[in-house]
Amino acid sequence: MKYTYLGRSGLRVSKLCLGTMNFGVDTEEKEAFRIMDEALDSGINFFDTANIYGWGDNAGRTEEIIGKWFQQGDGKRERTVLATKMYGDMHDDNDGPNGSPGLSAYKIRRHLEGSLKRLQTDHIELYQMHHVDRNVNWSELWRAFETAQLQGKIGYVGSSNFAGWDIAVAQGEAKARGMLGLVSEQHKYNLLCRLPELEVLPASQALGLGVIPWSPLDGGLLAGNHRRKSEGGRRSSDEKRLEKHRKQLEEYAKFCDELGEPEDLVSLAWLLANPAVTAPIIGARTLDQFKRSLKALDVELDESAMKRIDEIFPGPGGDAPRAYSW
């Protein structure tokens, strides 16, 4: 297994991150246990979740499954670098008006305690803001995060779905308080979504954040879905996106055939080759899907392959400074 540092922190994590969004939804508990067992056995130590996973009235279910798995012992908790997120509505009547989506010192304290209870642990390595809340003062947030760190309940703080300038403001405020600040940004980034290359990736690199891409296969579009016939259960929005990108995807499929590698593994390998990326999130629903994704670590893309991929899926205009030059 390949490992890297989580941003400018001293924490080492695997180059692939196990995403648990499907646990308790599309993936039943026993299968989730098998996937997590296989992850640790394969050397993947970085697990990502969120307090709202399970969704709606079932919010928290995914964290509960992970907590039950930790309780099996055998060093499972000790060997796991655990990341979770907060921001959303946990559908807890006791939250009252403070349960609505957003950030606050109240939510950091109360929702952190809820996650710790469900996860059956006393600490979380990486505590992430699931979205930005520009109505809240950073002094309030950093004070709350600092308190949680001093109590030993969280190790590091990360962001998710932040714009480049949100990252810059957060880091400036943290520096003024003498804090490390953010160590990671979780962002949608893949071959069909390269806009983060303009600001989010350069800002993250310059300010010491590791990038954790979510939806690395863009809902399956980069995994060969266009080769399959339309399925009755597929959403119309998925069909529209597939048709919009069909020409690119067919060209990409042909290129991957020439490489002798499947599209999904090439898509992951392309992300792994980016020095700004810490670890793409693998959101496998089954053990077989998870095992397949591990093979991406063995796919090497040379300069000519990377150039060809850029031709098929052009970036947003090159490096940010040049893109903004006239």
Contact status, residue 281 vs residue 19, Cβ threshold 8 Å: yes
CA distance 65 to 32: 8
> From the CB of residue 184, how many other CB atoms can be counted at a distance below 10 Å?
27
Answer yes or no: 53 catalytic. Answer: yes
Domain assignment of residue 250, given as a range:
3-323
pLDDT in tens, 64-114: 999 999 999 999 999 999 999 999 999 999 999 999 999 999 999 999 999
CA distance 79 to 35: 15
Strand ranges (E), the chain: 3-5, 12-14, 17-19, 46-48, 81-86, 124-129, 154-160, 182-188, 210-214, 281-282
The pLDDT score that the predictor gives to residue 326 is: 36
**DSSP secondary structure of 63-92:** HHHHHHHHTT-TTTTTT-EEEEEE-S----
Instruction: Tell me the backbone φ, ψ of residue 208, rounded to 5 degrees.
Output: 90, 25
The pLDDT score that the predictor gives to residue 325 is: 44
**Which residue of the set 3, 5, 53, 106 is catalytic?**
53
**Which two three-digit tokens encode residue 205?**
């690199």
The pLDDT score that the predictor gives to residue 1 is: 86
The type of residue at 278 is: T
The pLDDT score that the predictor gives to residue 230 is: 45
pLDDT in tens, 31-72: 999 999 999 999 999 999 999 999 999 999 999 999 999 999
The pLDDT score that the predictor gives to residue 4 is: 97
Whether pTM exceeds 0.85: yes
Determine how β-strand 3-5 pairs with β-strand 182-188.
unpaired
**Half-sphere exposure of residue 80, counting CA atoms within 13 Å on the CB side?**
28
CA distance 157 to 179: 11
Spans in the chain with pLDDT lower than 50: 230-233, 324-326
User: What is the CATH classification number for the domain harbouring 108?
Assistant: 3.20.20.100
The pLDDT score that the predictor gives to residue 318 is: 56
Please tell me the total count of domains within the chain.
1
